Structure 1
Amino acid sequence: MTDATRALWADLAALPKPALKDLFADSGRLDAWSSALALPGGRIRFDWSKTHLDAAHARAFSSLADAAGFTGRRAAMFAGEHINVTEDRAVEHTALRGVGRETSVEEAHALHLRMKGLVEAIHAGVLGEVRHLIHIGIGGSALGPNLAVDALTRDEARVDVHVVANIDGCALEEAFRACDPATTLIAVASKTFTTTETMTNAQSALDWLKAGGVADPFGRVIALTAAPDKAVEWGVDETRVLPFAESVGGRYSLWSSIGFPIALALGWQDFAEFLDGAAAMDEHFRDTDGLANLPLRAAFADLYYTRLRGCQTRAVFAYDERLRLLPSYLQQLEMESNGKSVTLDGQPVDGPTAPITWGGVGTDAQHAVFQLLHQGTNLVPVDFIAAIIPGDSLDPAHHRNLLANCFAQGAALMAGKAAKDGARAYPGDRPSATILCEDLNPATLGALIAFHEHRTFCNGVLLGINSFDQFGVELGKEIAKSIVAGSARFDPSTEALLDAAGIN
């Protein structure tokens, strides 16, 4: 953090903290803080008016963005410069959507054509009857495909997809029970093709195919990786290896060949629309400045609550069953990206970085955690996400009640309710934002995910940290390997646990 940005944070901290109800005394409040963006799949409204940001905060945060070099960092990302400084890599997930350095866009297009050819060959029956796909990955290699497949295949899927991430054998056996080895493909998704959990599960899947009478188990495997040589060495035919670029991070990789299960389940046209929706958000983010830039505006609010109001968590509630996996997806995107304690130059961060992201599905969550949100002692900023067009064909009363509850929660958090009986009083003045999609389809889901990717990037830039490494996940994995190898000794508690489990 520079002296200039440190001074701007001090200026922000000194600003008055207005109550939400007072902010709405300004007749222009809604227009200033709520915007609708026209996208290929329909409009999405981003309403940040129920946050505590006002014009003074907007000016101060804009000055902070200038001092942090936001415009230059954004341009550097789209130009393919090595902004991931700790790993000396470019950050080029947007090129997979057609927005970025020209050579990277061309390379991504060629790799997409390779994937399209394989997807269409499978749909045409070239690999025989394929009714199921078991997609094996972990982290970014599983969360994104799982979210998209679950959200977009409720009505119909070209191929039944089961995503398995957990090393716990129960997860893999559940997929086995739902599939017939004779009509099942296995996708092994790993950037390095060395991830312990993924490769262990992959070997068990091969054993299952063989035990199920498949004469050539490797002939049923598709490899999704940035290390194609390792996949071929493991035994996958090179014609069934779908590579992606090293400059694509794991949690940003569902747009690459990691998205193979999405394309296989939906068909290529829908996958292309998924990319198009994300590209439209990329273009908005790249070409729009100041408060009108929606991901940047969201980051201003995120940092206001984390840095200036001491909020340690941020809640996300999807009022749409199709988005039930979105909070889990955002947990990795936001906490793995910005859960850092040093700046780009390796100095300690001067203050909190990423909050803990959590959430659930409305209206279920109303009967579980909303008690704390309304009357608890923690201030928790909340995002609500919903769609105007329902995903079901039942009585419209279902969706009308769903949306009524979504909007009512935001209104209640802000307004509160006085009562002589403290147990029945609601303090109010609690913030929320609402993202309202016209429809939920491949394009709007792509745009929603891209919005959150860029929001995460903005937070990192304003904090002066690197959002694109994840060394914090390595230490535990290293220790686990040493336990399995029996090559290390530990503290008495850990040793006792190992003895009790029979691992020592």
Structure 2
Amino acid sequence: MTRDEAWKALALHPDPTLAELFAEDPQRVEKLSSRIELGETGIRFDWSKTHLTDELLADFEALAEAADFDEMRRRLFAGEVVNPTENRAAEHSALRGVGREASVEEAEALRQRMMLLVNAIHDGALGEVKHLIHVGIGGSALGPALAVDALGRDDPLVDVHVVSNVDGVALEEAFEACDPRTTLIAVASKTFTTIETMTNARSALKWLADNGVDDPTGRVIALTASPEKAVEWGVDETRILPFSESVGGRYSLWSSIGFPVALGIGWEGFEQMLDGAARIDQHFRDVDGRDNLPLRAAFSDLYYLRLRGCQTRAVFAYDERLRLLPGYLQQLEMESNGKRVTVDGEPSGPTAPITWGGVGTDAQHAVFQLLHQGTHLVPIDFIASIEPGDMLDAAHHHILLTNCFAQGAALMAGQSSDDPHRSYPGNRPSATILVDDLDPETFGALIAFHEHRVFAAAVMLDINPFDQFGVELGKAIAKKIEGGGERFDPSTEALLKEAGVG
């Protein structure tokens, strides 16, 4: 069967309601809910409130076979080229100990180097360190910011501030929270040339100098795949933490880009995060067909994207510690799979929904009106933790979880009424990811699950999830404006004149 034939077979399936699917199959929850064990905790993945059926899953398995999914998965873990437009491997799993042996060994050596520096800082080798300002952008900032916010709230070893926006307001906010005499600066850039990051880095050094720090560059830790550029910039070689060129920015949390996480929560916690991700790597590598949970999630994503025409997918974290997760997933999913051509350069059709979301219960009083009664069909992921992240009255967490589960139930069931203004159509899909506790291990597993979910969808869509050329166009035009001498469209010219830039 070819890929086109598999898609045609999928398009022939009927469209029963979720209520009908549950009524027809008493084993539905057992079939579409699975649990992955992680040391002392685990994660439950419940896809039973989606429209997946045994027949749909069988045809999606046929699509995966037609797309040569098994071979592409083998190449991913073997460290072979899976990014054909840049002729690169994508070896983020090797950073977690799962992948090509040589790459795993190299990652281990680099990780040991980072561990020595992290432990030395904690032991006072660089003097008293209370604060870290981590400057980066994109994957060099989103992953660390999410991990620090999720895992570093309770008595962090070092107070970490992640700054990505070149808007000086963001950097000034970090300055206000830090004492320059006890602050380190981490500069995270794969090339060590990213204009936003290097502009922020220079301003951070000036802030240190202006506040009496004798050797500002000596307070810099460089996180980069271009260590020679960091040396040229003035960073001491002993404070450069390299990572491999085969690790993409949005997949780099597990590399030295995770330095602020290790510094904030401690090396043991960082290792536990890697262990949780490695457990998902092993599952994704070793389990076939619908029982492979990232692949099953990708089946659902493609069903709603291609067969139901859903242009968006929403993620709601019913946990304040995961408030930054929707923003992180926006980059992971849309920068990876936001493409318009296949790997052969042919038109692809829809490849990625717009990812958006928020935090429960806040979102219920903002966007859920549209989800329940609007005209858009939006598949939703709910993410929650059984154990609370607070020490307050248990009523807080009880209300949080009951609201999370109630929203999924209400979206599915709906409610009829003679008053059309009070009628809810129901039959609206959702999936639930329920962790026992949000510790470093489950956090790592949660992120790795989404990484592999994106890859699985890309393989079946025949697109490359590891390049991002679309990001570069706006940057190139910004450089032309800075350089001067070029003319642009009348609107842009008027804006440049009004703002006095260019």
SS in structure 2 opposite 1:255? coil
How many angstroms apart in 2 are the aligned matches of 1:40 and 1:197?
Answer: 40
CA contact (8 A) 1:85 1:344 kept: yes
SS in structure 1 opposite 2:38? coil
Q: Which amino acid aligns with 2:116?
A: G
Residue 61 in structure 1 maps to residue 60 in structure 2:
yes
SS in structure 2 opposite 1:434? strand
CA contact (8 A) 1:41 1:277 kept: no
Residue 20 in structure 1 maps to residue 9 in structure 2:
no
SS in structure 1 opposite 2:169? helix
The equivalent residue for 1:115 is 114
The equivalent residue for 1:313 is 312
Segments of structure 2 that go 5 or more residues without pairing to the other structure are: none
Q: Which amino acid aligns with 1:328?
A: G
The equivalent residue for 2:359 is 361
1:381 pairs with 379, 382, 395, which one?
Answer: 379
The equivalent residue for 2:202 is 203
SS in structure 1 opposite 2:381? strand
The equivalent residue for 2:123 is 124
Cα deviation digits, residues 169-208 of structure 1 (max 9, x gap): 0000000011111100000000000000000000000100
How many angstroms apart in 1 are the aligned matches of 2:85 and 2:316?
Answer: 34
The equivalent residue for 1:480 is 478
How many angstroms apart in 2 are the aligned matches of 1:322 and 1:296?
Answer: 26
1:418 pairs with 416, 419, 425, which one?
Answer: 416
CA-based RMSD = 0.7
Q: Flag as ranges the 4+ runs of structure 1 deviating above 4 A.
A: none
Q: Which amino acid aligns with 2:361?
A: T
Instruction: Tell me the CA shift for residue 487 of structure 1.
Output: 3.3
Cα deviation digits, residues 130-173 of structure 1 (max 9, x gap): 00000000000000000000001111100000000000000000
The equivalent residue for 2:281 is 282
Cα deviation digits, residues 456-483 of structure 1 (max 9, x gap): 0001000000000000000000001111
The equivalent residue for 1:261 is 260
CA contact (8 A) 1:41 1:439 kept: no
Cα deviation digits, residues 414-439 of structure 1 (max 9, x gap): 00000000100000000000000000
CA contact (8 A) 1:40 1:444 kept: no
The equivalent residue for 2:3 is 5
SS in structure 1 opposite 2:431? strand
Instruction: Tell me the CA shift for residue 41 of structure 1.
Output: 5.0
CA contact (8 A) 1:192 1:227 kept: yes
Q: Which amino acid aligns with 2:386?
A: I
How many angstroms apart in 2 are the aligned matches of 1:382 and 1:77?
Answer: 28
Residue 431 in structure 1 maps to residue 429 in structure 2:
yes
The equivalent residue for 1:339 is 338
Q: Which amino acid aligns with 2:402?
A: A
How many angstroms apart in 2 are the aligned matches of 1:139 and 1:325?
Answer: 13
- Report the TM-score, using the length of structure 2 for normalisation: 0.99
Cα deviation digits, residues 277-335 of structure 1 (max 9, x gap): 00000001000001100000000000000000000000000000000000000000000
SS in structure 1 opposite 2:2? helix
SS in structure 1 opposite 2:259? helix
How many angstroms apart in 2 are the aligned matches of 1:487 and 1:7?
Answer: 53
Segments of structure 1 that go 5 or more residues without pairing to the other structure are: none
Corresponding residue pairs, total: 501
Sort the Cα spacing of 1:62 and 1:458 in 2 relative to 1 into closer, same or farther, 3 A. same
The 5 A counterparts of 1:41-190 are 42-190=41-189
Which of 406-415 and 23-32 deviates more? 23-32
CA contact (8 A) 1:413 1:429 kept: yes
Q: Which amino acid aligns with 1:473?
A: V
How many angstroms apart in 1 are the aligned matches of 2:194 and 2:166?
Answer: 11
SS in structure 2 opposite 1:130? coil
Instruction: Tell me the CA shift for residue 40 of structure 1.
Output: 2.6
- Report the TM-score, using the length of structure 1 for normalisation: 0.99
The equivalent residue for 1:372 is 370
Cα deviation digits, residues 342-394 of structure 1 (max 9, x gap): 11111111x21100000000000000000000000000000000000000000
1:461 pairs with 439, 459, 467, which one?
Answer: 459
